[in-house]
Amino acid sequence: MAPHARFRLRSAAHLRDEAGRLGLDIPFRDDVSVLLDRAVIGGGAVPNRLAVLPMEGADAERTGAPSASTLRRYRRYGAGGAGLIWCEAAAVRADGRSNPSQLMLTEGTIGGFSRLVDETRKAAGKARGSGHSPLLILQLTHSGRFAKPEGTPRPLIVQNNPHLAPLHGLPPDHPLVSDDELAAIRDDFVEAADLAASAGFDGVDIKACHGYLMSETLAAHSREDSRYGGPFENRTRLLLETVRHIREEAPGLLVTSRLSTTDLVPFPYGFGMDPDEPDRIDLAETKALVGLLARAGAGLVALSMGIPAWKPHFGRPFDTPVPGGAVPDEHPLEGVARHLALAAEIQRSAPGTAVIGAGYSWLRALGPGVAAAMVGTGRSAAFGLGRGALAYPDFAADLIGGGRMSSRKVCTTCSLCSHLLRRQRPVGCVVRDPEFKNAAGEGSLA
């Protein structure tokens, strides 16, 4: 591992040299046109292969309905030209909210979600022409051990985990959610998916990453005497049942999942880790799961990794940690290379599935060239930006119009959006969005 460093790459040649110095495989292509054509990704038609990845805004109404700021965010994404807008985590029930301002999809809030779909599509059509209609996928979630429905922790845990327990001061024998309760939550996902279809979304994502409830079932090796813990078949049951039930209930709806390829939490407490070498990544189960998801009807997966509340740098390589956070003991380009390598490995093992990776924002304006090389060589299906899209919602329009992103508009990976989310404050880019310029300076953020 090389020491952490800030971004200083001025050109593709510089990126190549730095990757060479660090011994990393970072492919690059000047011509990004492979990202710009119409395509079908995992069964969904997209006007281009540019995607906005889900980014919680923590700005919903108390009811869970999108607020005026939520709608502004999605209008900006719509107008920005991305072909796929993967809408942020929306809770399927109240005790699953990550904060009191997380979106929540229920009978009572469906009108607000229809409006979000409508305004996003209208903004897209107005800015890009009536032929441009982005694919809209809504991420559905239960925050599980990270639930804070009233602002303070109310963890619902699938297994006791000595690595994550200290985050909330949980005792080693904290009570576990029952199998019956897990089955009830599965049904809430199915109901929410139905509502998402009625609201006009093209698809839903059963969020199974970042240590939240569904993702924790995948890692629940130590859960005993349970339909949802222990052997692989049991740990994957809740996710697969959810996907199958949604396919039955809403056959016209695209069903996808955002998976952590690996939790990077040592075996037996993390998914995607090696039983013989607990700190080593092992993708055997992840590959098997992606195959089972495809068979169950989910042929599109978005990949992430790690548990952001525990070690955020794995999922979001950055220059600067959140205030008070640790500087990681690896170079951010190593983190980016890990994202690329794992996405490529999963895509290679599942050629019929569309794989969308993450972690490109640290590359700033060099991201599209790397993504073009990934997509052009069949190592993934699209270029997705999370923090990068929050900072630069019209990145797609600039790529379509001029083949490049502006280095003056890119995300600086300052982690202040993560900080806002942790503080349960509305999330925006304090560096690039004039409406958020003062957010980081507010005393309550310190």
Ligand X SMILES: Cc1cc2nc3c(=O)[nH]c(=O)nc-3n(C[C@H](O)[C@H](O)[C@H](O)COP(=O)(O)O)c2cc1C
Written as one letter, the residue type at 439 is A
- CB contact at 8 A, 167 and 310: yes
Category of 30 on φ-ψ map: left (φ > 0), alpha (ψ -120 to 50) or beta: alpha
SS3 263: coil
Residue nearest to ligand X (CB): 386
Written as one letter, the residue type at 154 is R
Among 64, 386, 426, 428, binds ligand X (CB under 6 A): 386
Least distance between ligand X and beta carbon 389 (Å): 7
DSSP string, 303-335: EE-S-TTT-HHHHS--SSPSTTPPPPSS-HHHH
427 makes contact with ligand X (CB under 6 A): yes
Report d(CA 402, CA 396) in Å as an integer. Answer: 10
Structure tokens at 301: 């997966």
Among 359, 369, 393, 426, binds ligand X (CB under 6 A): 359
Least distance between ligand X and beta carbon 427 (Å): 5
385 makes contact with ligand X (CB under 6 A): yes
Question: How many residues make contact with ligand X (CB under 6 A)?
Answer: 26
Report d(CA 263, CA 398) in Å as an integer. Answer: 34
- CB contact at 8 A, 91 and 104: yes
Per the annotation, the verdict on 212 as an active-site residue is yes
Check 74, 77, 212, 392 and give the catalytic one.
212
Nearer to ligand X, 50 or 176 (CB): 50
Report d(CA 334, CA 264) in Å as an integer. Answer: 15
Nearer to ligand X, 223 or 387 (CB): 387
Q: What are phi and psi of 259, to 5 degrees?
A: -110, 145
Report d(CA 347, CA 103) in Å as an integer. Answer: 31
Nearer to ligand X, 212 or 267 (CB): 212
Least distance between ligand X and beta carbon 411 (Å): 7
300 makes contact with ligand X (CB under 6 A): no
358 makes contact with ligand X (CB under 6 A): yes
Least distance between ligand X and beta carbon 443 (Å): 21
Nearer to ligand X, 229 or 426 (CB): 426
Among 272, 315, 332, 368, binds ligand X (CB under 6 A): 315
Least distance between ligand X and beta carbon 413 (Å): 7
Residue keyed to tokens 């942790």:
422
- The region of 50-58, 189-197, 238-246, 395-403 touching ligand X under the rule CB under 6 A is 50-58
Q: What are phi and psi of 308, to 5 degrees?
A: -60, -30
SS3 377: coil
Beta bridge partners of 257: 206, 301
Nearer to ligand X, 29 or 339 (CB): 339
Least distance between ligand X and beta carbon 51 (Å): 10
Structure tokens at 319: 């220059």
Report d(CA 73, CA 77) in Å as an integer. Answer: 6
Residue keyed to tokens 């300052």:
414
- The region of 240-248, 286-294, 341-349, 416-424 touching ligand X under the rule CB under 6 A is 416-424
Q: Footprint of ligand X on residues 224-283 (CB under 6 A)?
A: 258
Nearer to ligand X, 315 or 369 (CB): 315
139 makes contact with ligand X (CB under 6 A): yes
Nearer to ligand X, 56 or 394 (CB): 56
299 makes contact with ligand X (CB under 6 A): no
Return the closest-CA partner of residue 27 out of 377, 380, 356, 373: 373
State CA 79 to chain mean position distance: 21
88 makes contact with ligand X (CB under 6 A): yes
Least distance between ligand X and beta carbon 225 (Å): 31
- The region of 24-32, 36-44, 53-61, 188-196 touching ligand X under the rule CB under 6 A is 53-61
Among 76, 97, 186, 316, binds ligand X (CB under 6 A): 316
Beta strands of 48-142 (E only): which ranges?
A: 50-52, 84-91, 103-104, 135-141
Question: Would you tell me the crossing angle of helices 284-296 and 237-249 to the nearest 10 degrees?
Answer: 20
53 makes contact with ligand X (CB under 6 A): yes
Nearer to ligand X, 176 or 336 (CB): 336
> Would you name the residues annotated as active-site residues?
212
Residues at the contact surface with ligand X, assessed by CB under 6 A = 53-56, 88-89, 139, 207, 209, 258, 304, 315-316, 358-362, 385-388, 417-418, 421, 427
